[in-house]
Chain A
Amino acid sequence: MATSDSPLKRTPLYELHRELGARMTPFAGYEMPVEFRGVVEEHLTVRSKAGLFDVSHMGEFLVEGPEAEAYLQKLTPNDVSRLAIGQAQYSALTTDKGTFVDDLLVSRTGESRFLLVVNASNIEKDIAWMESRRPSGARLVNESERYALLALQGPEAEAVLRPLTEIDLGAMKYYRFAEGKVLGEPATVSRTGYTGEDGFEILIDASRGEKVARALFERGALPIGLAARDTLRLEAKMALYGNDIDLDHTVLEADLEWIVKWQKGDFIGREALARQKEKGVARKLVGFEMVDRGIARHGYPVVAGGAPADFVTSGSFAPFLKKNIGLAYLPAAHCLPGSEIEVEIRGRRAKAVVVPTPFYKREKK
């Protein structure tokens, strides 16, 4: 088990996790539930019913002030000016090389007020990065300790949450949010998630987190741990910072050009990304499926066209698809679906094939 000099932090739901029999693990400085009943069952619960994740470890930053929008436009490749109040977008904090300081959600909560949700492991790095680039007309506040963040995910999520809030969930579109009340307490509810399913994320004062979680469990949601969160996001090909995206790979290489809005004007990394696009992107993050027996894991070497390529960035047994899948950066010539590659598993080369992604896409109602 990983040890650290600083004691592990606990989310507002820690006691509840213990009560529910969670197996706990250190993650990003927090003691988090990795599994409750078994990762396969938890994964399938989210694909078929409703599961509840405690993601209170994630970071929340407030950015506000007359220069808030211009500031975020500079820091991120997506177009913040397109956001209406009540709308969120997936984006990134990019370096001048076009690589990732972090990936994040940007939500406009007011005319000149934004909420950023960032990865727990990057909170301090992000704050340092943003603070050193902050104009005087924008305020940046790390509010990460203030909130509990609950992710209710799955086809039954709306039905489970509906009786607990007066917010009109049915009218809420994907990547929209509303501020209102949940169980009579002020909360922000967004139609977002990290599982490839329909669902909501509920941001609420830390002291109310447990009460809301208990109510959702009483309504039939089941607790889900970090292990299933990882397999769910992988099936949906959602990037995990530190695995699939990092300071060494650009937004274009990560196959996330859709978050780059070239017409919006300047942002950090724009020049490098524009140059890379013009020259052609030499490697790209693609999905593959194992053909031979064996599970590809993070860090395993990949061979493409007989030559060492890169490493597996994420790999797992996929509980819903019942296949062994993974992601890797491959040379452009080997990125098309059907391209045959090999993954080195404990010294043995196992065949795999590039497949279209996402691996899993839910059927829209």
Chain B
Amino acid sequence: MVPEDRKYSKEHEWVKVEGGRGTVGITDYAQKQLGDVVYVELPEVGKKLQAMQIFGTIESVKAVSELFCPIAGEVVEVNGTVVDKPELVNSDPYGKAWLLVVAVENEGNLSSLMTAAEYQAYVDQESKG
């Protein structure tokens, strides 16, 4: 199931905003498409990201994918654990495998992202296509 406490991008990232802090990760659908994740590259704390700017790279055994930040803000925390244990992206994409936290510039921007239900419909459509 797609968690309802966060918003989703068309690039299959999620963002969960609490008290101005936006935690970002990739979706379960994305990790399934990637297959076994073996490498994650994340930015430095302090980097300012625009909405949908590339912030890092995620690699499965077979594929290299770019990571897009669904919402603008400055990086205030990155998940070092997932860098050391990339397989967490496969086992717990919505939990332990969060990638970074940004100080959200404008929470109003969240409205341009999809709700859980909208994302589910989007994924259903994409997997049919």
Chain A residues at the B interface, C-beta cutoff of 8 Å = 34-35, 38-41, 227, 230-231, 293-295, 297, 316-317, 319, 324, 346
Among the listed B36, B41, B59, which residue makes an inter-chain contact with A38, where contact means beta carbons less than 8 Å apart? B36
A40-B36 in contact (CB<8A): yes
Query: Which label, helix, strand, loop or mixed, suits the secondary structure of the B interface?
Result: strand
Query: What 7 A-B pairs are tightest by C-beta distance, nearest first?
Result: A317-B38, A40-B36, A39-B61, A227-B62, A38-B36, A295-B39, A39-B36
Chain A hits for B41, CB < 8 A: 293-294
Query: Of residues A40, A41, A297, which shows the largest number of chain B Cβ atoms within 10 Å of its Cβ?
Result: A40
Among the listed A227, A316, A346, which residue makes an inter-chain contact with B35, where contact means beta carbons less than 8 Å apart? A227
In angstroms, Cα B61 to Cα A293, docked, is 15
For window 55-111 of chain B, which residues contact chain A by CB distance below 8 Å?
Answer: 57, 59-62, 64
Known contacts being A317-B61, A346-B57, is A38 close to B35, with CB within 8 Å? yes
CB distance from B29 to the nearest CB of A (A): 14
In angstroms, Cα B90 to Cα A40, docked, is 12
Chain A hits for B38, CB < 8 A: 40, 295, 317
CB distance from B85 to the nearest CB of A (A): 12
- Known: A40-B36, A295-B38; 10 extra A-B contacts, CB below 8 A, are A34-B62, A40-B38, A40-B61, A230-B62, A231-B61, A294-B39, A295-B39, A295-B59, A297-B64, A316-B61
CB distance from B28 to the nearest CB of A (A): 15
Chain B hits for A316, CB < 8 A: 61
Among the listed A34, A35, A227, A317, which residue makes an inter-chain contact with B39, where contact means beta carbons less than 8 Å apart? A317
In angstroms, Cα B36 to Cα A319, docked, is 10
In angstroms, Cα B38 to Cα A38, docked, is 12
In angstroms, Cα B60 to Cα A230, docked, is 14
Chain A hits for B59, CB < 8 A: 295, 317
